[in-house]
């Protein structure tokens, strides 16, 4: 017993000695003295202070990276970043632009690729289980998930992120549209905001065929039908066979670059992924308008008379791209993102409604949902600086966004300070790609790029074929006031976003089938009335009200 008591006393004394040394901490931040705390409280400015975003506890994040110059980190550190798979041929981590970024910055980006078809599901699982990576490069619905993201405000300074700040200051709206519901910034823009992307699904007409059948480019729906009839019966490709021409083709109703959404604009309405159009601050549900009914009847006539591709609602995206890439002279009117080839001239087609007005559905070229850093990241400042590095100069931006210099783009000869986007089939074939977009995805991050081609790039992209330069068409549409947006850029409240998303899922599934069936099989007054009642059951009025609330909130 004496031995045991001796040991216990020794332990107690040792514990007391250790406690007495507690003020000298070997790691972490030093605690402030009460005097320091009181002094700071006295110097705080009066009045309302900005709500401070909750951030993860831990070491001082501002001390974990070099605030200026390169490398960003003195020792290499790995960051896991989820990204949508762009190429099945070249992995993201194997792209030269990624390797150079690691070499320059010591930010070892480990991209984890997810198939586009399962992106939304995968991201939702990551957030629901909180099994988050360091960052995500892609759409994530910031307004719903920002509580699990790292607020970036403290890093958005001229010292730490000079390129980001310079851009935001030149376009002050970004300081506002990037704010989440709590007033803090959790995401940075990605991709390309030039006018090239203002219109996705654009109608183009084969100018050679117009000349062959002696027609002018149509200006409205009635003239379009006349031209399509001439294409069908007039052997415009001149091969002696009047059965191999397809007057008009597209893929589906809405979707990036190939849906018929803007063809409906010949009746003063258009379709989009959100199914609403906002004009003069008022939100309208497109598929409730009488003009929508007229458009469906018109396109059913075209389909029934064989003026529309019979596969327009069944072909996949890859099948449609393959069609448009064929060398055969087979199509009169196509709907695509951009249409150029060496054997035919393609004219962009804008159709007016019966009142003479032109309506074109526009994208938000301002991107708000792109690169986000998760709270699980232990060094968020390094990733903000990495994003800033990706935007440091024209060459870096193009390497991330377009691909290898000399293969996807080059300095425009005789035009100092300008660049020319390349579309060389020989280079593409030599690199194992079938077309320009495929090579771009093999070499860069394309529309998911952390480098941002802002609107200033519009002025440095050179083309020796001005009438075919799609951005000029889109800019004209915007300047003349033809363009109408679905919803503005920015974030709504979490509650608004979640409820809208829930309603939209059922609405989207229904309309996808309804429009295709109406065009293929036809629709009458009774069918339209049934459709309107179905929209009531799907709570479309509530959906529109939520959209209107969001639009109104963006005005404040």
| Tens of pLDDT, residues 50-70 | 445 555 544 677 889 999 999
Residue 342's pLDDT is 57
**Is the pLDDT confidence value at 549 over 90?**
yes
**Phi, psi angles (nearest 5°) of residue 280:** 55, 35
- pTM beyond cutoff 0.85: no
Residue 341 is predicted with a pLDDT of 63
| 264 and 500 Cβ atoms separated by less than 8 Å | no
Integer distance in angstroms from the first to the last C-alpha of the chain?
78
Residue 362's pLDDT is what? Answer: 84
User: What pLDDT score was predicted for residue 455?
Assistant: 87
Give the ranges where 74-206 is alpha helix by DSSP (H).
Answer: 96-105, 119-129, 142-145, 162-170, 173-177
pLDDT of 5 strictly over 50: no
Pairing outcome for strands 371-373 and 187-188: antiparallel
Burial code (b: 16+ CB inside 10 Å, e: under 16) for 179-218 equals bbbeebbbbbbbbbbbbbbbbbbbbbbbebbbebbebeeb
Residue 503 CB neighbours (<10 A): 18
The two structure tokens encoding residue 176: 């506002």
Helix residue ranges per DSSP H, 311-408: 317-325, 380-390, 394-401
Least confident of 86-95, 235-244, 323-332: 323-332
Q: What is the percent of the chain where pLDDT is above 90?
A: 63
User: Is the CB of residue 226 less than 8 Å from the CB of residue 215?
Assistant: yes
Residue of 169, 160, 178 whose CA lies nearest to 379: 160
The pLDDT confidence band at residue 465, using thresholds 50, 70 and 90, is low
- Residue 328: pLDDT band (50, 70, 90) is confident
Question: What tokens does 503 get?
Answer: 């309603």
CA 293 – CA 463 distance, rounded (Å): 41
pLDDT exceeds 80 at position 73: yes
The torsion region of residue 71 among left (phi > 0), alpha (psi -120 to 50) and beta comes to beta
Q: What span, in angstroms and rounded, lies between the C-alpha atoms of 129 and 140? A: 15
Residue 329: how many other CB atoms lie within 10 Å:
19
194 confidence band (pLDDT: 50, 70, 90): confident
Say yes or no to pLDDT of 481 above 80.
yes
């Amino acid at each position: 017993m004496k031995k045991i008591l001796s040991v216990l006393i020794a332990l107690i004394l040792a514990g007391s000695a250790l406690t007495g040394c507690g003020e000298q901490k070997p790691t972490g931040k030093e605690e402030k003295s009460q005097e320091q705390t009181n002094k700071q409280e006295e110097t705080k400015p009066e009045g309302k202070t900005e709500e401070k975003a909750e951030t993860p506890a831990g070491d001082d994040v501002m001390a974990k990276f070099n605030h200026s110059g390169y490398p960003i980190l003195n020792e290499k550190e790995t960051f896991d970043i989820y990204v949508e798979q762009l190429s099945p041929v070249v992995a993201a981590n194997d792209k030269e632009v990624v390797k150079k970024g690691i070499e320059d910055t010591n930010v070892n980006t480990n991209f984890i690729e997810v198939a586009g078809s399962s992106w939304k599901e995968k991201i939702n699982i990551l957030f629901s289980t909180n099994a988050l990576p360091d960052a995500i490069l892609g759409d994530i619905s910031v307004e719903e998930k920002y509580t699990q993201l790292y607020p970036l405000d403290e890093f958005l300074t001229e010292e730490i992120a000079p390129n980001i700040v310079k851009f935001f200051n030149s376009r002050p709206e970004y300081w506002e549209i990037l704010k989440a519901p709590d007033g803090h910034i959790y995401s940075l823009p990605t991709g390309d905001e030039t006018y090239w992307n203002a219109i996705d699904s654009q109608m183009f007409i084969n100018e050679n065929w117009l000349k062959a059948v002696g027609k002018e480019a149509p200006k409205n729906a009635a003239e379009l039908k006349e031209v399509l009839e001439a294409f069908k019966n007039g052997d415009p490709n001149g091969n002696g066979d009047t059965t191999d021409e397809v007057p008009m083709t597209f893929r589906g109703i809405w979707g990036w670059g190939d849906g018929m959404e803007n063809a409906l604009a010949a009746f003063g309405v258009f379709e989009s992924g959100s199914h609403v159009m906002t004009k003069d601050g008022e939100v309208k549900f497109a598929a409730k308008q009488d003009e929508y009914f007229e458009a469906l009847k018109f396109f059913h006539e075209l389909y029934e008379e064989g003026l529309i591709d019979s596969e327009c609602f069944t072909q996949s995206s890859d099948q449609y791209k393959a069609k448009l890439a064929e060398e055969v002279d087979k199509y009169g009117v196509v709907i695509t993102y951009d249409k150029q080839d060496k054997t035919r001239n393609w004219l962009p087609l804008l159709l007016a409604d019966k009142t003479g007005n032109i309506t074109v559905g526009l994208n938000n070229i301002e991107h708000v949902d792109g690169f986000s850093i998760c709270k699980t990241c232990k060094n968020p400042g390094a990733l903000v600086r990495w994003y800033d590095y990706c935007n440091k100069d024209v060459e870096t931006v193009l390497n991330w966004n377009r691909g290898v210099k000399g293969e996807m783009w080059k300095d425009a000869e005789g035009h100092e300070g300008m660049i020319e986007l390349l579309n060389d089939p020989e280079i593409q074939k030599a690199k194992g790609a079938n077309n320009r977009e495929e090579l771009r995805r093999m070499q860069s991050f394309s529309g998911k790029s952390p480098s941002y081609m802002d609107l200033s790039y519009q002025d440095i992209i050179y083309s020796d074929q001005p009438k075919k330069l799609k951005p000029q068409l889109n800019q004209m549409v915007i300047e003349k006031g033809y363009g109408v947006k679905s919803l503005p850029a920015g974030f709504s409240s979490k509650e608004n976003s979640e409820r809208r998303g829930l309603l939209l899922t059922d609405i989207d599934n229904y309309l996808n089938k309804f429009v295709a069936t109406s065009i293929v099989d036809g629709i009458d007054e009774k069918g339209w009335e049934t459709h309107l009642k179905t929209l009531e059951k799907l709570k479309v009025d509530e959906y529109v009200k939520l959209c209107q609330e969001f639009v109104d909130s963006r005005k404040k």
